[in-house]
Copies of this chain bind each other. A is one copy, B any other.
Amino acid sequence: MPSTLVTHLAALHIPVITSALDMQPFLIDWRKRYQGNALAVVQPRTLEQVRQVVQACHARNVAIVPQGGNTGLVGGSVPVAGDTSIVLSLRKLSAVRALDQQNLTITVEAGCTLSQVQDAAAGAGLLFPLSLASEGSCTIGGNLSSNAGGVQVLRYGNARELCLGIEAVMPDGTALHALRGLRKDNTGYALKDLLIGAEGTLGVITAAVMKLFPRPRTQIVAFVALESVEAAVSLLGLAQKRLDSSLTGFELIAQICLDLVSKHFKEASPLPAGSAYYVLLECSDSQEEAVARERFQQVLEEAMELELIQNAAVSASVAQNKAMWRQRELISEAQAAEGTNIKHDISLPVSAIAGFVRANSARLEQAFPGMRLVNFGHLGDGNLHYNVSPPLGMSDSDFLAHQASINKIVYDDVVALSGSISAEHGLGQLKCQEIEHYKSAAELGVMRQIKNALDPKGIMNPGKVLTPR
């Protein structure tokens, strides 16, 4: 009985939105690809209120769509169209509960924005390394539920590796108190790791203990030009060997990406055009700048001698660091300004990437002559944003009609090389059908056994990750 649910929650003094106008921002994703419906948007302020909401929905068989900053790219945080669920917004759970300097941990509620967590760490002279384009509005709960990646994974790992403990509410309304800030704890199954990356389909994360790190004393960025992805992969190996964990960023950028940034943002590239690929390297060091700089320069000189790189620019200031990163960060927006494109957030073993790009781009070109491959990404993690833009002159709708066949060309090759069709964005609504084809029946079967065991009523974020059976 939906109306009794709303009445029940209101009686518990839990903020509930039911007007269509006020609910609207919670019902559509930010790329405006997915529009859903909901009985209500519920905004609990405490763990206990979250528990009450889930328990009430569980008793009434009402589906729950957990939502943080609603910045996801796969439609995971908005209701599936036609569904009659509630949106459970975690944004009002936004306290930093504790920061432990000696243990290097911060305990935060799910609704804290990522930049709020970064700022709290910085305020204590420490680093919270997770960093994403949407950090001003995405939330740590969403970061965990989607196991967010970003630009520092090479050194610090994904959101899952950054999390030591969680507090969560399970689908039947049970609160799971596991906010332990321990680096070692072998007392049973990895429930934390299971809920992380489950996109809200196994429960609602309400708080987490995250790792902090010493702030690097020095950061230096370089922009280098290369003739091929092969050369970039060789450079990665050299930089990892020489810099080890001081290598905190290694971003591949095809020439077309810089052309688009230049066209739409009038920002000049740090290097002249003319190379096929560029790499942004970031070195973070706990040593003084002169030592760190000499070490970094030596790597670049060695790469030049080995003819891995054609040209290089090294930043001389924090402002120049930022300007170089800005080239990388503006690519997505420049692509959006250029028009539609078909995104592929893929990962591959690093050793397979160069061959994949060569063979697959040829297949794409053969099938769609003139298509523009906007290829960039976190090469250090084996993760490419391998996006396809239409040939110049083709209409968006004509191009999008080919989406399924373009995806098939890309994903077939990715999976044949033991890669992933979703490196960091998750499955959500966008890829939950596609994964049925690309993941083994055994893995999907075990996932369904777990889903059915923890959420037998199927009320947690239905239509995401797994298609209903």
A-to-B contact residues, CB < 8 Å: 100-105, 146-147, 149, 153-155, 157-158, 160-161, 170, 174-191, 193-194, 196-198, 202, 213-214, 216, 233, 236-237, 240-246, 286-287, 291, 295, 347-352, 378, 381-383, 418-427, 431, 435, 438-440, 442-447, 449-454, 465-466
CA of A447 to CA of B170, assembled, Å: 12
CB closest residue in chain B, given A441: B174
CB closest residue in chain B, given A176: B442
Q: A105-B349, A423-B182, A443-B176 are in contact. Are A435 and B188 (CB under 8 A)?
A: yes
Chain B residue numbers with a CB within 8 Å of A442 are 170, 174-177
CB closest residue in chain B, given A291: B291
Which of B157, B174, B193, B287 meets A445, CB within 8 Å?
A: B174
Chain B residue numbers with a CB within 8 Å of A422 are 185-187
Return A411 CB to nearest CB of chain B, in Å.
11
Return A358 CB to nearest CB of chain B, in Å.
15
Decide if A202 touches B189 in the complex (CB within 8 Å). yes
Chain B residue numbers with a CB within 8 Å of A191 are 443, 446-447
CA of A419 to CA of B186, assembled, Å: 11
Enumerate the 7 nearest inter-chain pairs by beta-carbon distance, A residue then B residue, closest first. Answer: A453-B453, A193-B193, A102-B351, A185-B420, A184-B423, A245-B245, A244-B286
Which of B196, B383, B431 meets A190, CB within 8 Å?
A: B196
Q: A194-B194, A383-B184 are in contact. Are A100 and B454 (CB under 8 A)?
A: no
Decide if B190 touches A104 in the complex (CB within 8 Å). no
Chain B residue numbers with a CB within 8 Å of A243 are 286
Chain B residue numbers with a CB within 8 Å of A347 are 182-185
Chain B residue numbers with a CB within 8 Å of A101 are 237, 351
Decide if A213 touches B454 in the complex (CB within 8 Å). no
CA of A157 to CA of B191, assembled, Å: 18
Q: A286-B241, A446-B170, A446-B454 are in contact. Are A184 and B424 (CB under 8 A)?
A: yes
Decide if A439 touches B188 in the complex (CB within 8 Å). yes
Chain B residue numbers with a CB within 8 Å of A213 are 244
Chain B residue numbers with a CB within 8 Å of A438 are 187
- Can you spell out 19 A-B residue pairs with CB atoms less than 8 angstroms apart? A101-B351, A102-B237, A102-B351, A103-B349, A104-B350, A149-B186, A153-B183, A153-B184, A160-B193, A176-B443, A177-B443, A180-B419, A183-B383, A185-B423, A187-B438, A188-B465, A189-B451, A287-B295, A452-B453
Return A429 CB to nearest CB of chain B, in Å.
14
Decide if B240 touches A450 in the complex (CB within 8 Å). no
Decide if A382 touches B198 in the complex (CB within 8 Å). no
CA of A170 to CA of B443, assembled, Å: 10
CA of A305 to CA of B425, assembled, Å: 49
Find the residue from A233, A347, A439 having the highest chain B CB count within 10 A.
A347
Decide if B439 touches A187 in the complex (CB within 8 Å). yes
Decide if A186 touches B349 in the complex (CB within 8 Å). no
Decide if B103 touches A351 in the complex (CB within 8 Å). yes
CA of A185 to CA of B378, assembled, Å: 13
Q: A181-B418, A453-B449 are in contact. Are A186 and B425 (CB under 8 A)?
A: yes
Decide if A187 touches B420 in the complex (CB within 8 Å). yes
Return A240 CB to nearest CB of chain B, in Å.
6
CA of A350 to CA of B190, assembled, Å: 21
Decide if A214 touches B233 in the complex (CB within 8 Å). no
CA of A129 to CA of B191, assembled, Å: 25
CA of A400 to CA of B58, assembled, Å: 49
CB closest residue in chain B, given A189: B447
CB closest residue in chain B, given A435: B187
Decide if A420 touches B382 in the complex (CB within 8 Å). no
Chain B residue numbers with a CB within 8 Å of A287 are 295
CB closest residue in chain B, given A298: B287
